A and B are shown apart, each in its own frame.
Chain A
Amino acid sequence: MSAFIEIRGARRVFRASGERRGMADTIALDGIDLDVETGEVVVIIGPSGSGKSTLLRVVNRLERLDEGEIRIEGELVTSPRADLRRLREEVGMVFQSFNLFSHLCVLDNLTLAPRLVRGLTRGEAETRALSILKRVGLADKAARYPRELSGGQQQRAAIARALAMEPKALLFDEPTSALDPEMIREVLDVMKGLAAEGMTMLVVSHEMGFAREAADRVVFMDEGRVVESGSPEELFGHPREARTRAFLQHVL
Chain B
Amino acid sequence: MLTRLPWWLAALVLLGIWAAISALASSDYRVILAAVARGLGVTLSVSLVAYTASLLLGLGLGLFRTSPLRVAREAATFYVELVRGLPMLVILYYIAFVGAPALAAALNAALKPLIDRGLATPVETRNLGFAARAVIALTLGYSAFIAEIFRAGIESVDRGQVEAALALGLSRGQVMRTIVLPQATRNVLPALANEFIAIIKDSALVSALGVQDITQLGKVYAASTFKFFETYNAVAFFYLCLTVSLSLLVRAMERRLKAGGSR
Binding site for B on A (CB under 8 A): 60, 62, 84-86, 88-89, 92-93, 95, 97, 99-103, 105, 112-113, 116-117, 145, 147, 158, 161-162, 165
Q: Which residues of B contact A116 (CB under 8 A)?
A: 170, 174, 178
Residues in B with CB closer than 8 Å to A145 are: 262
| Nearest opposing residue in chain A for B160, CB measure | A99
Contacts of A88 in B (CB 8 A): 166-169
Please give, as numbers and ranges, the residues of chain B lying within 8 Å of A60 by CB-CB distance.
Answer: 167
Selected from B166, B169, B179, B186, the residue in CB contact (under 8 A) with A101 is: B179
> Which A residues are in CB contact (< 8 Å) with B67?
none
Given A103-B183, A116-B178 in contact, is the A95-B163 Cβ separation under 8 Å? Answer: yes
Contact, CB under 8 Å: B168 / A99: no
Determine how close the nearest CB of chain B comes to the CB of A89; give it in whole angstroms: 5
Give the Cβ gap from A143 to chain B, nearest Cβ, in Å.
Answer: 10
Which of these, B168, B174, B182, contacts A103 with CB under 8 Å?
B182
Bound CA–CA A100/B179 (angstroms) = 10
- How long is the Cα–Cα vector from A116 to B163 in the complex, in angstroms? 16
Query: Is the C-beta of B165 less than 8 angstroms from some C-beta in chain A?
Result: yes
Contact A99 B262 (CB under 8 A): no
Cα of A145 to Cα of B186 in the assembled complex, Å: 16
CB of A37, distance to nearest CB on chain B (Å): 22
Interface check B260, CB cutoff 8 A: yes
Assess whether A99 is in contact with B164, with CB atoms less than 8 Å apart: yes
Contacts of B81 in A (CB 8 A): none
Q: Are A92 and B160 in contact (CB under 8 A)?
A: no
Residues of A within 8 A of B166 (CB): 62, 88
Contact of B163 among A86, A99, A117 (CB under 8 A): A99
Hey, which chain B residues are within 8 Å of A95, CB to CB? 160, 163-164
* Cβ B168 vs Cβ A102 within 8 A: no
State how many angstroms separate the Cβ of B42 from the closest Cβ of chain A: 38
Interface: B171 (CB within 8 A) = yes
How far, in angstroms, from A103 to B165 measured CA to CA in the complex? 13
Q: Known contacts being A103-B183, A103-B186, A145-B262, is A62 close to B161, with CB within 8 Å?
A: no
A103-B183, A161-B168 given; 17 more Cβ-contact pairs under 8 Å: A60-B167, A88-B169, A93-B167, A95-B163, A95-B164, A100-B161, A101-B164, A102-B183, A103-B179, A103-B182, A105-B262, A112-B178, A113-B165, A116-B170, A117-B168, A117-B169, A162-B168
